[in-house]
Structure formats: C-alpha cells, structure tokens
Structure 1
Amino acid sequence: MTDVRPITDAELPDWIRALNTGFLRPPTVTDQAVADRRTATADSRTSGAFDAGRCVATFRSFPQELTAVGGTPVPADAISNVSVVATHRRRGLLTRLMSEDLTAAKERGDVVATLIAAEYRIYGRYGFGPATTMTEWTIDVPRAGLDPRRPVPADGGRIDLADGEEVRKIGPELHERLRLAQPGAVSRDEHWWAANTGLLRLYDSSWTEPFYAVYRSADGAVEGLVSYEADDKWSDAKQPLNTASVNWLIAVTPAAERALWHYLCSIDWITRVKTGWRAPDDLVPLYLPDPRAARITTQADWLWVRVLDVVRALQARTYGAAGTLVLEVVDRAGPAGGRFLLDATPDGASCTPTTRGADLTLDVAELATLWLGDESAERLAALGRLREERAGAAREADALLRTSGRPWCPDMF
C-alpha cells in the first residue's frame, strides 16, 4: 500500500528528486537546491506518496489571496508541484493527495483553490475550471512603426535600469497595487521575489541574471517594472536579429505600460519582443502604430479555480447589474454542492442556501469558469455544460457575472 502523507524534512531531497523526475528535469539534487527549497516551503503544505520508502508522487499547497471581481481578495489554497512518476501513474495517488488537501482547505476557511494546469484534462474531475486566459504576442519591431528617436518615455517620466536587490525593495508594493485592482491576480510572497530575482534557485538550474527596468512618473513615483532577457543572434550579413523576452511586466497606469513597451521596442539590436504572459485583452498591440506587428504566438487557459465556499465566493465579488438567480451547484466531491439564491446589485450581493426552484444547474467547475467573469453562461449552455431550468436564465446570468475587462493572472506558481 502506497503511503500518502506530509513529508519529513529528511525526505525533502527524495521529494525534490521525484518532482524533477515527474517534470522531466534532471533527477539530480544539490545541497543548495535542498536548502533553497526548504526555505521556500517553510510555510507550505508539502506532501508525497511513498512506495517502499521512495517518493513517487509530489504535492504542495500554500496560502494565497486571489482578487475577485471588484477588488476584494479572498483566501485561496494555491496548489503547485503536482507530479507522479511514470512507474506509478493511474493508481489514484493524485486523487488521494488532492482530496486530503481540498478537505483541509475547506476546513481552514479558504474560499477557493487555485492552480496552473500543465494538462487540460486532469483537474476538471476535481472541480477545477479554467477561469482566466493568457496570451503572448511576438512584436516585429521594425514593422511596429515606433520612432526610436522619440524620447522614452515622452510624458515627463523616466525609465531606469535596476538590479535584483532594488527590485526586491520596490516590486512588492507595486505588485500589490496591481493585484488589488486586477481580477484574477494572486498575491506574491517574499519567496516569489527571491526566486524570481535569483536569490532562491529551486530547480538546480543555472541562473541567468535578467535585465530590470523601472518606470517612474514625472513626480518620481514607481508605476511600472519589467524583467526581460535578450539573446545574441545575428544574420549572415552581420545584421542584428536579437529577441527581448519579457519574464514579467507590471504597470499600474497606462502611461507606465506604454512607456515600458516603447522602451523594449527601442533597444538597439532588438528586432523582436516576446511579451510574456499577458491578459487576452491587453493593450500592447494597440500601443503600436501598426498593431499587426504584434502576432499572437501563444493563447491558452491559465489560472484554474476550484470553488470551496459558494456563498462567500459569490458575495465577495461585485456585479454590474441587479438581479436574482437560483443556482443548483453540483459538486461530486461534496464541499460546495447545493442550491443557492444569489441576490445581486451593483452595491452588494447576498447568497444564501434555498429550497426555491433552480434557474440554472451547473457543475462546480463551470461555476469557477463563470465566477471571475471571463466566460458566458449562454456559451456554456450551448455546449451542454450548463442547463437552463428557466428560459432566459443564462442570459440573465451573463448580465450579472460578465465583466467589461477580462480577468488576468500574471503569475505561474
């Protein structure tokens, strides 16, 4: 019988080896990787499955906040580092690890669970639904039409280069401003900043120091920050063909965002800019005189959400219209099922269990897909993933739940 349980400190090297194996990374484990992983997982819930004393599956969750529509953060159970080695697939190990974690999250009072799904078909059976989408563009800089001679920025602000130490000082406060205004964004703890500026190295990989650029407004306030790397590619005719690849870019004003993209497209020798993971309705193509210079190179589901507490989830967000809906939520795993009356107005909402007849019947995974406002109830009904019990209820749900801007999660975790 395979043993599923939290790991001990002595088992951490074996756990890392199993994680690396599951993600097809070299199965070597260095002392530095163990020390850094120990620091990063100090506040997390780290579990594994063990067969004859050997770790064969990994699972980790940690505290997180997720921003709901309207800007209210809700407590979330963030799930990461999920792997099962090839010799032990299809034995129910992930189901056991997931069930124990979600039960504990519900008992703690978490409103939702979150994850980034490596594979689409796995997590729906645990009640998760895709709640945000990410898009990456590749910008053909010569075609974009930006004038490289124009001052960058042109609004009285300035852009300065920075190092990792400065980013760790100014980045957290800037990100807090962004994530509290962006539905779908999640909190970043100090370990995120350490791992993304080279202070922690969790996967035995060599660290390449990126470039960092900071945008400051005319009054000196930090309003934007970007991390990027560049390759070294030249044509046979000795012409530069270099690509700048954005690791992440956060900006809290349109002026800051515009200035940072213009800066990236004005760097000498850079002929392409890969934008990294952006919101699908990001303005970056429209900042360019020729938006066709930005072509979509990746577009896919991103943040997946699992609702654990329907009442608190629906009461946490805001609504663009007034209306009432009775939702029959089907949750085969148990913690979020039931029938709920949503009474919403632009000034607030209440959600209570009810015995009234349902207007819509949907799986808890579909509720997660609707909750952040990115999907349409009418589309789900057309796909057979949601059932109207009252004609017109799906359209009414869209009027309540959909948002003018699309949710976005900037982070991988």
Structure 2
Amino acid sequence: MNLEVRHVTASEFPDWTRALDTGFLRPPVMADEVVAGRLASTDLARTQGAFDNGRCVATFRSFTQELTVVGGAVLTADAISNVTVSPTHRRRGLLSRMMAADLTAARERGDAVATLIAAEYPIYGRYGFGPATSITEWSVDVPRAGLDPRWASPADGGRIDLVDGADIRKLGPEFHDRFRALQPGATDRDERWWQLNTGQAPSGHAWTEPFYAVYRSAAGEVEGLAVYTADSTWGDGKQPLNTASVRRLTALTPAAERALWRFICSIDWITTVRTGYRAPDDLLPYFLPDPRAARIVTHADYLWLRILDVVRALEARTYAVAGSLVLEIHDDGGPAAGRFRLDASPAGADCAPTTESPDIALGARELAALYLGDASAVRLAALGVLTEERPGAAAVAESLFRTARRPWCPDVF
C-alpha cells in the first residue's frame, strides 16, 4: 500500500479534520465555520497527514508550548496533539513516520523537550516519552464532609464573586501566567484557548455554559479561579441530589484554594462535588473535616515528556538538595543518548557530557519520568528500569529529583 506522509495544505485541512474526528470516534462531519476556526489557529508547517490515494487516514500536529519546570523556569516545548490513525490503516508505521519527522524538526528548532497527553499508555514509551505528571479525581460526599452549614464567605477577608465568560477572558490570562510560574508541569494558554474555553469560539462540540467563580484577596487581588457546572437531579421525597462538576480550579495560595472549594461545597442543593483532574497530592481532602468524604474515582498518568536536549533540560530546573550524579542515558541513538555529569543544587545546576564512570543507568523514558519530580528513582530501580552502577546512587537521584509537592498539568491539549 503506497501511503504518503507529508504536511497538510489548507485545501486538505477539512479532510484532515474528518480523519482526526474519525480517529477520536467523534462524528466525522463538522460545520464549515468550525473547520475554518481550527485552520486559523493551526500551523500547517507543523501539521502532518498520511494519505492513501488522496484520502487522509492519519493525523499529527504540534505547536510551540511553554512548560514550567521545577524552580519556575520555562522551557520551550514541542507540544504534540491530534494524533490519530484511522482504524483501516493501523499497524503500518504511520505514527512512527510522523513522530520521527516532528521530533527531528523540534531538535532542529532547538526545543529542549516534547510533551503530549497520552490517550493510551503503551504507545509513546517507544518514542522516548515517559509519564511526567499524574492526575487524581475525587468525588466528594458533601453531607458527610462535616462542613459548617453556616459558612457564607471566606474568613480571611477575601471574597468570591460569580462572573461571566467575558470577565474570565479579561482576568484569566494574567492570573494564569502568575499561577503557572508557581506550578511545575503547567503550560501556557494562548488567546484561542480562552476563546474556546469560554464558549466565544465554536469548538464543534456541544457547549454548556458553566459558572465562573473568582476569589479576590482582602487587597482585591485575583488569587483563584474556578469553573464548574451542575446537573439537576432530585431524589425521592423531593430531595435535591445535585452534582457540581469542576472543570478547573486553580489558586495562587492555599487560602484561595480552600475558599473556592468551600464555596462550591456550600452551594444549595449540591450533595456531590466531582473535582475534575487534580494533582495526586491535592489539598482538597484535607480541607474537609472528614477527608474520607472525598473518594478517589480516577488516578492515572497525564502529561508525558520527551527529553530532546539533556544538558539544557537538566540545567533549566533546580534541585531539592546539593549533589552530583553521573547518568548513563540509553536512547537507541536518539537525542538523549550519552553520559552526563550533573552538579545540582537548590540554586541551579551544571550539566555536561562526561567520560566518568556512571552512577546510574536509565532510559530516556525514565529520565523524562524523573524530570519534573514526580517519579521515584528508588522505585524505578526496584522495578529494574533504572540500574545502580554505584551503591546508593538511586537514593542520591531520589533526593535530587523528587519535589516536596508533585507536579501538575491542569490542561489538556
């Protein structure tokens, strides 16, 4: 079968969109205005398709992204999205061809890392990606939580206001830039993101207008945003059994975060709160007098990372303690392959190729899993995917790479 893999032209973009929606099991017919909106925000020079006799049967797109790493520095990432292969053309190497072309271009541009959200776990490890952040979702049984039913407003002098999408488009970008500077694993949001996520731009999918809540400190500064929807469910005896589903909730301080969760849990008729995807060590359960009222309903990997430039990536972040480590990285001829000496500290790091004997040996996938501080070097050694070449070196790697709070990516892309 003669399958051509190449960049997509503007005239082919509607067919590429059809293939994309086919791959994600969405209706493969989309309004012209939605296709035009997608095209306007798509860099065709970074949009690939596989074609069989002129029909698009696989899709792949990347774009420039800013990723916050440990210590607050920002790395330019090659963000990969919209990856599909039509069910009629699986197992023909189409993803491998598109991935190779994209990562080669990313290295030539000087991107230090590549990122993606993996729909399926087994796919991307063979390309050197590793799961770098995780997510957990809770379902909160509000009546059981033990919260004071007399609560009406934050006790710290702050206030919560309900606003609309237009307000969020004004307040949100500046607030999110402040938030992501504090949160390893967070990424930037462009103008189209705000338009799509406030219903201003059509996405091609049914839009449900949510509620927007803003927390302002006593000084009037925006320090938290929450977006949620609610259903309308009533039980026997005319009792309300409504569920609030949080689409996103981010805050600059624990006080702001606590106030927003307390507000959502205090809404009349709400008996269940679904939290949406949170960091695994989220504070929410312990904001409740009875943490057992928060039941975990989802726990999974989330943001996947691929190191393209080891020296730049390792020097960009800070480390929990001071120490040195020689890493032997296996990458099957890929860009992360080699032996590197890392001299790290809470203030920063120096990294360079070396011929010294290695302390640990690991794959590019495992390095990516360690990079943002989520994975445990000691556990990776126990699993046999990280090798101690010097006794105690895994513990040193653990103390260097692990972070006090786990990284979190609050967005899908």
For 1:175, give the aligned amino acid: H
8 Å CA contact retained: 1:361, 1:389: yes
Q: Match of 1:226?
A: 226
Partner deviation per Cα, 1:98-147 (whole Å, 9 max, x = no partner): 00000111111111000000000000000000011101111101111112
CA distance in 2, matches of 1:163, 1:222: 15
- Checking the alignment, whether the CA contact within 8 Å between 2:315 and 2:350 is kept in structure 1 is yes
* Superposed CA offset, 1:306-348 (max 9, x none): 0000001110111121211111111115212111011112222
- Write the letter of the residue equivalent to 2:358: A
C-alpha distance in 2, partners of 1:254/1:194? 28
Separation in 1, partners of 2:115, 2:321? 27
Which 10-residue stretch deviates more, 309-318 or 139-148? 139-148
Partner SS state of residue 314, structure 2: helix
Distance in structure 1 (CA, Å) of the matches to 2:275 and 2:163: 19
Matched residue type, 1:63: T
Structure 1 position 39, deviation (Å) = 2.5
Identity of matched residues, %:
68
Deviations along 1:169-203, one digit per CA (max 9) or x if unpaired, are: 1011111111111111111111111111112233x
| Residue in structure 2 matched with residue 348 of structure 1 by the alignment | 348
Find the residue that maps to 1:390 and give its secondary structure. coil
Q: Could you say which residue in structure 2 is the equivalent of 1:400?
A: 400
Report the counterpart of residue 357 of structure 1 in structure 2. Answer: 357
* Deviation per residue, 1:270-315 (Å, 9 max, x gap): 1100011111101001111111111111000010000000001110
Query: Which residue identity is paired with 2:205?
Result: S
Runs of at least 5 residues in structure 1 that lack an aligned partner in the other structure: none
Aligned residue identity for 2:117: I
Is the partner of 2:238 in helix, strand or coil? coil
Deviation of the 1:43 alpha carbon: 7.8
Q: 1:136–1:278: 8 Å Cα contact kept in structure 2?
A: yes
Alignment partners' CA distance in 1, 2:333 and 2:102: 12
Indicate if the aligned counterparts of 2:43 and 2:63 stay in contact, CA closer than 8 A. no
TM-score, length basis structure 2: 0.98
1:345 alignment partner AA? S
Residue 282 of structure 1 corresponds to: 282
TM-score, normalised by the number of residues in structure 1 = 0.98
Task: Give, in angstroms, the shift of residue 357 of structure 1.
Answer: 1.1
Query: How many Å separate the matches in 1 of 2:37 and 2:16?
Result: 14
Contact 2:140 2:294 in 1 (8 A): yes
2:25 alignment counterpart: 24
Q: Secondary structure at the match of 2:237?
A: coil
Q: Distance in 2 between matches of 1:308 and 1:361?
A: 18
1:154 is displaced (CA, Å) by 2.0
Amino acid at match of 1:267: I
Matched, 1:293 2:293: yes
Structure-to-structure mapping, 1:212-251, within 5 angstroms:
212-251=212-251
Alpha-carbon deviations, 1:62-82, whole Å to 9, x = none? 100111111101110000110
* 1:370-393 CA-partner distances (Å, limit 9, x unpaired): 111111111111111011111111
2:303 and 2:177 map into 1 onto residues whose CA distance is: 18
Shift, 1:30, TM fit? 1.1
Paired AA for residue 352 in structure 1: A
Aligned residues: 412
Q: Secondary structure at the match of 1:103?
A: helix
Write out aligned runs for 1:155-170 (5 A).
155-170=156-171
CA deviation digits over 1:231-273, x for unaligned, max 9? 1111132111110000111110111111100110011111100
Aligned to 1:70: 71
Residue of structure 2 in register with 1:311 after alignment = 311
Q: CA deviation at 1:148?
A: 2.8
Contact conserved, 1:159 with 1:215, CA < 8 A, in 2?
yes
The equivalent residue for 2:58 is 57
Partner of 2:379: 379
Q: Equivalents in 2 of 1:136, 1:44: separation in Å? A: 37
Aligned to 1:45: 46
Return the letter of the residue paired with 1:303: L
In 2, distance between residues paired with 1:17 and 1:399? 48
Letter in 1 for 2:134: T
> Would the alpha carbon gap of residues 254 and 136 (structure 1) be closer, same or farther in structure 2, given more than 3 Å must change?
same
Kept in 2: contact 1:339–1:355 (CA 8 A): yes
**What secondary structure does 1:264 align onto?**
helix
**2:351, 2:239 → 1: CA distance?**
62
Provide the C-alpha distance between the structure 2 equivalents of 1:315 and 1:183, rounded to a whole number of angstroms. 15
Distance 1:225 1:39, change over 3 A: same
Alignment root-mean-square deviation, CA? 1.1
Number of the residue aligned with 1:193:
194
1:128 corresponding residue in structure 2:
129
**Separation in 1 of the partners of 2:133 and 2:111?**
20
Indicate the SS of the match to 1:184: coil
Q: Is the 8 A contact 1:44 1:61 kept in 2?
A: no
Distance 2:45 2:150 in 1: 49
Most deviating of 302-311 and 206-215: 206-215
Give the match's secondary structure for 2:240.
coil
Partner amino acid for 2:138?
A: W
Which residue type is aligned with residue 180 of structure 1? A
Q: What secondary structure does 2:220 align onto?
A: coil
Cα distance change of structure 1 residues 333 and 8 upon mapping to structure 2, 3 Å threshold:
farther
> Aligned equivalents of 1:43 and 1:13: distance in 2?
12
Q: How far apart are the structure 2 equivalents of 1:234 and 1:54?
A: 49
User: Which string of whole-angstrom CA distances, capped at 9 and with x for unpartnered residues, describes residues 202-227 of structure 1?
Assistant: 3x212111111111111111111111
CA offset digits 1:27-75 (Å, max 9, x no partner): 1121121122112214872111111000100111110011111110111
Q: Provide the C-alpha distance between the structure 2 equivalents of 1:397 and 1:157, rounded to a whole number of angstroms.
A: 41
| SS of structure 2 residue aligned to 1:237 | helix
